[in-house]
Amino acid sequence: MSVNLIQSIKKNLGFAELKKIDPNTQRPVDDGREEDRLNQSAIPTVLIVLYKYTRTDGGAQEVLSSSITSDWMEKMLAEDTVDAVAKVAKYSDVPEVIALERMEQIAKQAVALINTANPASSDEVKNIVAAERNAILSYLPPSLHMGELLNDGTLDDNVNKMEGPMSGMMKSLGGIFSSSERGKDDQGK
């Protein structure tokens, strides 16, 4: 039931390729292509916010049952929307109104893609988005400090951007522990 949100959003909205973040330098990999800073920051930011939002039953249910609305960022972040938009705008060197517009466009597309997978329950929504977490983090610029904004230090941890057999094993173990934590998070909300 994998959706591959980053690639699908990029393709459906006609955006350029994103660059993975080098875990050693904490900067986008220099592959000779110019970085599209707005999409490089907005796509993974929106998706990691969506990930955190869908960790709760209420958030996952909202994604499952909601029509495409124009205020997903406000719905997912409430009072933190302004801070998230400001971080993306600063990284991208664009006005905040442009950053918010792009983030809303990405959020709508992400919700539509999740619903295209026809999840039957909020748990399936949670699983779809959880399966994307490591891919999202490998593109999320650490200078945005989204982990700080979302109260989740693991989001800014460069271990999530590492690749290879040992990193893969550690991510798998982390996935096991985070899936067992999902039940705890849901009960507390």
Mean pLDDT of 88-98: 96
Task: Say what the pLDDT of residue 75 is.
Answer: 93
Q: Are 75 and 110 in contact (CB under 8 A)?
A: no
Share of the chain above pLDDT 90, in %: 62
Q: What is the pLDDT of residue 188?
A: 47
CA gap 42, 9 in Å, rounded: 11
pLDDT value of residue 29: 81
Question: What is this structure's pTM?
Answer: 0.82
Q: State yes or no: pLDDT of 170 exceeds 80.
A: no
At 27 the pLDDT is 81
Query: Is the Cβ–Cβ distance between 91 and 157 less than 8 Å?
Result: no
DSSP, residue by residue, 138-161: TTS-GGG-HHHHTT-GGGS-GGGG
Q: According to the per-residue pLDDT averaged within each range, which of 80-94, 140-154, 173-187 is highest? A: 80-94
The residues spanned by each domain of the chain are: 5-187
